[in-house]
């Protein structure tokens, strides 16, 4: 079976440098639906900290629905968790 292409996931302005939690309305459900496609995931509409007004290219990432209340994604050196209340936590995978 062929499942070509990719799926875009709108991160809703998520700041990938933020060290505190942030709430991105609807992100849990968008991620859940994207995972169901079985296609590679491309994140759009993310921002990068103090330079958030500058365009940021789309980002390839992978994700898994760990439970009915948690989705975990990884992009480069970032671990991105989204819970079912749309709370996002970003953790660097390097020190």
Ranges of each domain in the chain: 7-92
Residue reference for tokens 């994604």: 73
Contact 29, 59 (CB under 8 A): no
More confident residue, 24 or 3: 24
pLDDT in tens, 14-33: 999 999 999 999 999 999 99
Q: Where are the alpha helices (DSSP H) in 3-52?
A: 27-36
1 has a pLDDT exceeding 60: no
What pTM value is reported for the model?
Answer: 0.91
The C-alpha atoms of residue 9 and residue 28 are separated, in whole angstroms, by 11
Residue reference for tokens 């079912």: 84
More confident residue, 54 or 30: 30
pLDDT for 53 equals 83
pLDDT in tens, 65-81: 999 999 999 999 999 99
Count CB neighbours of 10 within 10 A.
15
């Amino acid at each position: 079976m062929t499942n070509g292409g990719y799926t875009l996931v709108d991160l809703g302005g998520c700041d990938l440098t933020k060290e505190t939690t942030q709430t991105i309305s609807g992100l849990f459900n968008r991620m859940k639906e994207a995972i169901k496609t079985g296609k590679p995931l491309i994140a759009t509409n993310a921002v990068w900290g103090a330079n958030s007004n500058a365009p940021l290219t789309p980002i390839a990432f992978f994700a898994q629905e760990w439970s009915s209340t948690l989705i975990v994604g990884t992009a480069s050196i970032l671990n991105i968790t989204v819970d079912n209340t749309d709370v996002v936590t970003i953790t660097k995978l390097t020190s």
